[in-house]
A = this chain, B = another copy of it.
């Protein structure tokens, strides 16, 4: 594989549409900002055998990586601008694989109006590994934070919870549910929602490590507690069916992670705006509990009893 030829063939076309990329012909990219705007910058890395199986279609690996970064931008209320990508590949990687990977990026770039601005392709003696840094823009001072939830806020989540964790079980099992598997492979960054949360939500983040753990992050940074109610948690039909067969799977709903739905808090006085927003975006927005004075997350079951939290979320080590 000729590295420079491969980069030119696969990645240069992805930089068209963002002039600051300089068509990937220089050591660095240029990023300029309109007056009154700030950059929101997020970065993530994934490695085969840990964060993805490794045998997925390369296009799907690329799209999920991009979407996970976009999900962070969505959670902060930012609009996508550009991204940087480091691709670390075993030396036996085929050109077809790289083309497939780049093609996945191409598809999602068009869908989410973002372009490649720079990066590096290197060899590694380990499994395929990728690192992405995504830039978004936002009016100065408006970024949605984790640290600004207030007692009395209602806690809201978008979409449905646990699909991705159950999808991964499906993918590993014999009779997989296609809907759940797709939710695992291709999360949907909630960019339109995030934008609408500016001026509405007090605190916001995306759920990547699991509902309970991520809500714990909001509580820790905001110095508050939270009560959430299991009967209120939004489930897809396939997820509800699996839970009905095996109640232990609730652990996956509240702690499985990889949801990439938004988790945000809103002053109770603005509760009715949530219903209107859900209708406008055609996206379920569900109130699952409330922020309280305290320092921990409490999950209540159907009988208002505290559920012991066995799986507090995804630990990276």
CB neighbours of A72 from chain B (8 A): 27-28
Asked whether A28 lies within 8 Å of B41 as measured between CB atoms, the reply is yes
Contact pattern, A 290-303, Cβ under 8 Å of B = 1, otherwise 0: 00000000000000
The reply on A168 being an interface residue by CB < 8 A is: no
The reply on A183 being an interface residue by CB < 8 A is: no
Checking B33, B41, B46, B124 against A122 with a beta-carbon cut-off of 8 angstroms, the contacting residue is B46
Asked whether A31 lies within 8 Å of B39 as measured between CB atoms, the reply is yes
What is the size, in residues, of chain A's interface with B at 8 Å between Cβ atoms?
64
Least CB distance from A84 to B in Å reads: 5
CA of A33 to CA of B34 in the docked complex: distance in angstroms?
10
Checking B22, B50, B76, B317 against A28 with a beta-carbon cut-off of 8 angstroms, the contacting residue is B76
Given A28-B78, A86-B43: A127 in contact with B124 (beta carbons within 8 A)? yes
- Which single residue of chain B is at the shortest CB-CB distance from A125? B49
The reply on A234 being an interface residue by CB < 8 A is: no
- Which single residue of chain B is at the shortest CB-CB distance from A316? B3
Of A112-120, A170-178, A250-258, A275-283, the stretch lying at the interface with chain B is A112-120
Asked whether A45 lies within 8 Å of B131 as measured between CB atoms, the reply is yes
The reply on A109 being an interface residue by CB < 8 A is: no
The reply on A110 being an interface residue by CB < 8 A is: no
The reply on A249 being an interface residue by CB < 8 A is: no
The reply on A169 being an interface residue by CB < 8 A is: no
**Which parts of A81-137 form the interface with B (CB within 8 Å)?**
84, 86, 88, 91, 117-127, 129, 131, 133, 136
CA of A153 to CA of B2 in the docked complex: distance in angstroms?
31
The reply on A188 being an interface residue by CB < 8 A is: no
CB neighbours of A50 from chain B (8 A): 122-125
CB neighbours of A91 from chain B (8 A): 317
Asked whether A127 lies within 8 Å of B127 as measured between CB atoms, the reply is no
The reply on A10 being an interface residue by CB < 8 A is: no
**Which of A131, A146, A315 gathers the greatest number of chain B CB atoms within 10 Å?**
A131
- Which single residue of chain B is at the shortest CB-CB distance from A89? B317
- Which single residue of chain B is at the shortest CB-CB distance from A26? B146
CA of A121 to CA of B45 in the docked complex: distance in angstroms?
8
Checking B31, B117, B221 against A38 with a beta-carbon cut-off of 8 angstroms, the contacting residue is B31
CB neighbours of A45 from chain B (8 A): 86, 88, 120, 122, 131
The 6 tightest CB contacts between A and B, nearest first, are A126-B126, A131-B131, A45-B86, A47-B124, A31-B39, A28-B42
